[in-house]
Each structure stands twice: as structure tokens, then as C-alpha cells.
Chain A
Amino acid sequence: MSLTDLTLHAMQQRLRNKEVTSVELTRAFLERIGSVDPSINAYLTVTAEQALEDAARADRRLAEGQGAELTGIPLALKDIFITEGVRTTCASRILENFVPPYDGTAVAKLKEQGAVLLGKLNMDEFAMGSSNENSAFGAVKNPWNLDFVPGGSSGGSAACIAARLAAATLGTDTGGSIRQPAANCGVVGLKPTYGRVSRYGVIAFASSLDQVGPIARDVEDCAILLQAVAGYDAADSTSVDMPVPDYRATLRDGVKGLKIGLPREYFIEGLDPDVQQATDDAIAVLRELGAELVEVALPHTEYAVACYYLIATAEASSNLARYDGVRYGRRVDRGQGLIDMFMQSRAAGFGPEVKRRIMLGTYALSSGYYDAYYLKAQKVRTLIRQDFLDAFAKVDVMLTPVAPTPAFRLGEKLADPLQMYLSDIFTIPVNLAGTCGMSLPCGLSRDGLPIGLQLIGRPFGEAALLKAAYAYEQATTWHRHLAPL
């Protein structure tokens, strides 16, 4: 087995047993990035020199017995995390040359542990997209089949793990941007509860929905990475001051007696038959393991996509107002005054999907339309959130497909924004409710593309979520299927 095929927890074992060094691991990944990534386009920036220096430092730390959980583990980050001294673009022309002067909290935590950062990963521009085709620096290809999308917006992160180009990654999830690409690429992704991980130093898209989470090879790797970044941060006043449990301590507790809800609104007509079959099979596996499966209702599900595309765009239009060509980013100045400079800089810097969402959000917030669109959506969000709280009064975890179909072909949905938005129909409600959700591999389609199973947990119920996911994973072999690369 090649070093790059190992899970993060297997790498930890080998580092501790002195069977491998961080420099060896880092070199193996850098070599593989050089040979494989030209066909995937997962990396926007590779920090090879820095990575090898950090790996050497990690090896010294390990030799002194001072290692932490992630010391010497080669990781990569979605290019939405600002990194001191390393170009951070958010896959946008407007930030093409932006070199942040500080690290965000999650990045600082990984660095304190001595993790090695291999580079920055491609994504949909400003995390807006479901296919990674909205990157200003080229689409990412699905490692399972290069004609298909990896999903988005953390498509570079999911493809990176599927192609074994880093041990694990951090992504962000505003409406499914960790879970949907993880499903499309046959890897494991976790969107924690809103407030569980600090957003300080994460470029903002929709501030009431954005959350940081891991994408990794298996459930245990996700638990390790979540453990490293979870917790209250004074620099993010929306992070929640609540103890972080030891996620690995309960990972192996099993699902006997666990109540798993099946929301009937998610098992709709139009669900791809392969997805339906894989989901039914997963339900049977969990029942066999001793879980109790019960039907539940999330009656406002059909309104979630509409609600999301008003709230997320409104918040985005406000957050992206900062890109004005003054403090950072691209400036286009024709010498026709300040307002013209703003308008030209933004027109030249943003791609079509970002412009579309800024326009929608500006409209939804504009005088005369605020009540009809933005306020209405916020009220519907209350109903959707209440659906989840009511369901979680009856069950511990819920189970659904991640998406109605496996990955689609490059270009297939580009001409129709609304069709693209609807591919997030099963992931969006979790962000609106603010709770946690996971995607894990549960099958392969007739075209040989991965299918993802979504487990949804109670607010701050990541431990139970990981436990259920681990029980399912260990009873099946899907996480061991590797993309043929």
C-alpha cells in the first residue's frame, strides 16, 4: 500500500511507531500532487518548500516526544481559509493576488499542533456553487471519472481526498458545500453545528449559515480533525461556549437502541434509483446493527431551497460589499471617480454566479422588497428549524440521501442556475436549522460513481452523529473503495 493511500489515523500510528517520517509522508503527497493533480485541478497553490520545512520541524517534535494529534500530518485547506503569507483567492479574480497578514483560528489551531500544510484547494468562487465549475481558475474534475463534476463548493477539497492528494482537509458548508462534494467523491464530510467551529479568518459567504468542517477518508479521520478545530473562540462572537466532547471516546459505542428517523419528505419521486437502492441498503445495515428506524416528518422541506436562496444571497450581497478595490483585491480605475472605480473593480473581479447572487440578494434586501422576500424567508426559516427540533424530540439522528442523484457531467447544469440550486435540496435544510450533518459513502451507481448517505444530528450532537456513522462505515466496505487513479 502506498503511503498516500493511508488514512490519517493510520499515518498517526506509523509516525508514532517511527515507521515513517513526516518528511517522507509530505514528499509522497507532493510527488503525487505533481503527477496526478494536473488532471484533477484540486490545488490552486502548492506550498512545497514550506511544507517540507514544517515536516522536518514536526519530525524533530515527534522525536522529542512532544507530538500532538496532528503533528506531521500533511493537510490541505479550501482556499477560503486565510493563511498568513500564503495567497488566498477564494477562487476569485478579485482576490487573485491577496496574501493575508494573519491566520484564521482553525488554521492557527492546526499549525499549533504541528500539522503540515501542503497548499490551498480549488472551490467554487466565494463558495457559491454545487459543481466547482464556478472557480475563476478552472473546474475541478471528479477523480472517479474525469467527465463528471466533483460537486461544490468544496469540490477541490473532496477531490483532493478522493485522489489521495492530502491526508485530510477542511472545507466549509453553507448549503451542502462539504457534504455534497464528499458524496460525489466517495469520501466522508462533516458539517458541524453552527457555532461549533470558529469562523474567524474564513472568508464570509452567508454568515448565519457558514460553518467549517472536515473532509477526510473515513469517519475516525473526521472525528480527529473536528476535535482539533472545535471550540469557542473569542474572535468569533457567534461561536458557542460549550464543552467539546472527546469524539473518539464514543466512536465505537455502536447504534444498538439508537433511534434513527427517516424524514418522509426526502424519499421523493425523482430520486435516482441507484441512490434509492443504496439508501435502502444502508437502512437495512443500520437496522441489522440494532438501530431503531422510524418515519418522521419535516413538513416544510419543499420550501427550503427558496428560503435558502433568499437568505444566503442577501447575506452574501452584504458580505461581498467589502470587495471595493480599496483595502485589498483588484482595482479598476478609469479616472471617473470613486463610484465608477467601485463598479468597474467589482464587475471585473467577480464571476457570473457571484454577480447573480449579489444581484438577487441586493434585490431581496432593497427598499420595497425586503418584507416580501428577505423577511418572509427568515420566517420560513423558523418553520424549517422547528421541523427539525420537533423531529429530534422523537429520534436521535436522521438518515437521508445527500443528493437526489450521483455526480452530474461537467457542463450539464451550467445553463440553468435553478436546476443547479436544486441539487442541494437535501443538504440546505440542515444549514437553515443550524444543526450538524455528515456525508459518507454508501454505494456506487451503475456508472461507477459514488453515492452518499447523509446522517443528520441534533444541535451539538456531533458525538452521536459520528458514532452512528462509524457503526455504519465499519459494517460496510464502501470507504475502502478508492477512486481509480
Chain B
Amino acid sequence: MKITRAQVEHVARLARLALADAELDALTDEMDAILGYVETLNSLDTDHIVPTSHAVPMENAFRDDTVRPSLGTMKAVQNAPAAAGGCFVVPKVIE
């Protein structure tokens, strides 16, 4: 086994996904199969290879720090499930 059911539960918690027992069972099998498949990468020696995070060689992208119009509060909150006074409303964080 590449991954256990307990690990899958832990990952679901990290990913903030409430998964049902049946989903966790299925994911354990599926992730195990996929992780087994990606093991093929281990047959390559990559000790001295520089990782690629971006396909196009590029330096940092700078721009002038100029003031420009922004979206505005009302538009920014228009899709919020709950908003009040131009703010996003969330469940109480600190008891």
C-alpha cells in the first residue's frame, strides 16, 4: 500500500474536505493506484536536475507602483454568501 485510509483522512482534513466514509474508502483505493503509477518517476535519476516551476524562462515581473481604479467594495462583495456593511460575514472564529 502506498497510502493508508488514516493518511487519506488526514489529507482530507488538510484539504478542508468533509468526506463520507464511502468516499474515503474509494479515494484510498484510487489514490493508492495513482500513487503506484507515479512511482515510475523513481526510475529516473534526478539528483543533479534543477526543478522546473515555470516553462518559460522569466525574471521577476515588476511594474510601476501607480494608483489605479480598483473593483470597489460593493462589487467585491456582491457574490458573497453573506455580507454586511461591505464586509464578508463568516462564522465566529474566536470563542
Contacts and interface: CB of A to CB of B under 8 A. Distances in A.
Interface of A: 97-102, 193-195, 208-209, 234, 237-238, 240, 300, 302-303, 305-307, 309-310, 317, 321, 324-331, 333, 335, 337-344, 346-347, 350, 352, 355-356, 358-360, 362-363, 366, 373, 375-383, 385, 417-418, 421, 432-435, 459
A193 B58 CA distance: 14
Contact of A99 (B19, B34, B58, B79): B79
Given A341-B90, A379-B50, A380-B44, A359 B31 contact: yes
Interface string B1-38: 00100011001101111110001000100110111011
Given A237-B61, A307-B41, A343-B17, A327 B80 contact: yes
Contact of A434 (B14, B38, B56): B56
Interface string B56-93: 10100101000000010001111111100000101111
Contacts of A381: 51-52
B16 A324 contact: yes
A47 to B, nearest CB: 18
B2 to A, nearest CB: 10
Contact of B75 (A101, A300, A355, A382): A101
Contacts of B15: 317, 346, 358-359, 362
Contacts, number: 168
Interface of B: 3, 7-8, 11-12, 14-19, 23, 27, 30-31, 33-35, 37-38, 40-42, 44, 46, 49-56, 58, 61, 63, 71, 75-82, 88, 90-93
A306 B39 CA distance: 8
Which 5 interchain pairs have the tightest Cβ spacing? A434-B55, A378-B51, A331-B81, A328-B79, A237-B61
Contact of A193 (B40, B52, B56): B56
Contact of B91 (A102, A238, A337): A337
B79 to A, nearest CB: 4
Contacts of B50: 379, 382
A96 to B, nearest CB: 11
Contact of B79 (A238, A329, A342, A358): A329
A15 B53 CA distance: 45
A418 B34 contact: yes
A236 B93 CA distance: 34
Contact of B51 (A193, A234, A382): A382
B18 A383 contact: no
* Chain A interface, DSSP helix/strand/loop, else mixed: helix
A303 B40 contact: yes
Contacts of A99: 78-79
B42 A338 contact: no
Given A343-B17, A347-B19, A417 B30 contact: yes
18 contacts: A97-B79, A208-B55, A209-B55, A234-B63, A326-B80, A330-B81, A335-B91, A341-B91, A347-B18, A355-B27, A356-B31, A363-B35, A380-B44, A381-B51, A383-B44, A418-B34, A434-B55, A459-B56
A317 B79 CA distance: 22
Contacts of B55: 194, 208-209, 385, 432-435
Contact of A356 (B30, B54, B63, B77): B30
A321 B34 CA distance: 22
A376 B52 CA distance: 10
Contact of B37 (A100, A306, A326, A327): A306
Contacts of B79: 97-101, 327-329
A245 to B, nearest CB: 17
Given A208-B54, A343-B16, A421-B34, 17 more contacts: A102-B75, A305-B37, A310-B38, A327-B77, A338-B93, A350-B17, A356-B27, A359-B8, A359-B27, A360-B35, A362-B14, A363-B3, A377-B38, A382-B46, A382-B51, A417-B30, A459-B56
A379 B49 contact: yes
Contacts of A382: 46, 49-52
A380 B53 CA distance: 11
